[in-house]
Amino acid sequence: MLPVDDLGEPVVLHGPPRRVVSLVPSLTEALVTVDPALLIGATDYCTHPPDLDVTRVGGSKYPKVDRVLALEPDLVVANSEENRHEDVERLRADGIPVWVTAAPATVPAALGSLRRLLGTVWDVEPDWLVQAERLWRDITPPWTRAVVPVWRKPWVVLGRDTFAGDVLLRLGVVNAFADHSERYPRPELDELQDADIVVLPDEPYLFTPDDGPQFFPNLRPVHVSGRYLTWYGPSLVEARPALEAALKP
């Protein structure tokens, strides 16, 4: 039987892929740990590892599909939330196998998706994956309530069922919008003040000490790495101690 990706789509592989294009930054970082020589292409936003030297194929939302096709990959790795369905379908129509990961709502779901991808396609279990599973198994009792903007102009915050929200919850931080009907609601600024802290990541919007805290005068600002908050891959090993240190009063 053919292997299937997270969305249940079959992926036709003729042995372990050796020419891979990644359209997802955190998956790029994970794939490099299997074998740095695997990757031949990645998006402009695939910033880790910092010395990654591959052909760039544009952004995640709008990759240059012709450039991907020209690389003749034997596998493209994508994500259901970060990449457009029409781009995935065009690659498949041109005979390129595409493995699409689902948008995870929890840390265990994210790590389980990575375990299945790496184990199914390359039969590997990286040490960082085992370590991340162990580190994030513990859940700290709730101790504070947070608003977590990811964009402004307009304001966009973490809502229900997000990976970043589960990261914070496992650190004892309750997302003030966790019960919202949308995953990324767009409240008015005056609706964002009912919390103890405001968590300000540096991506996708680059919040800084001069751009962010002034909108939340009664909340303690916590500046965090967006990579640690939203990426799932090897960075999760560093993320827990780094986020705990940043959140500490």
The rounded Cα 42 to chain-centroid distance in angstroms is: 15
Say which DSSP state 130 is in: H
CA nearest to 55, candidates 66, 96, 5, 132: 66
Say which DSSP state 192 is in: G
Low-confidence residues of the chain, pLDDT below 50?
A: none
Map residue 125 onto helix, strand or coil: coil
Tell me what pLDDT residue 60 has: 86
Tell me what pLDDT residue 9 has: 96
Number of C-beta neighbours around residue 212 at 10 A: 20
Supply 16's token pair: 């372990």
Tell me what pLDDT residue 164 has: 97
CA nearest to 46, candidates 70, 80, 82: 82
Tell me what pLDDT residue 2 has: 86
CA nearest to 232, candidates 103, 51, 54, 94: 103
Per the CB < 8 A criterion, the answer to whether 74 and 17 are in contact is: yes
Q: How far apart are CA 44 and CA 55, in angstroms?
A: 9
Torsion sign over Cα 50, 55, 60, 61: positive
Tell me what pLDDT residue 196 has: 98
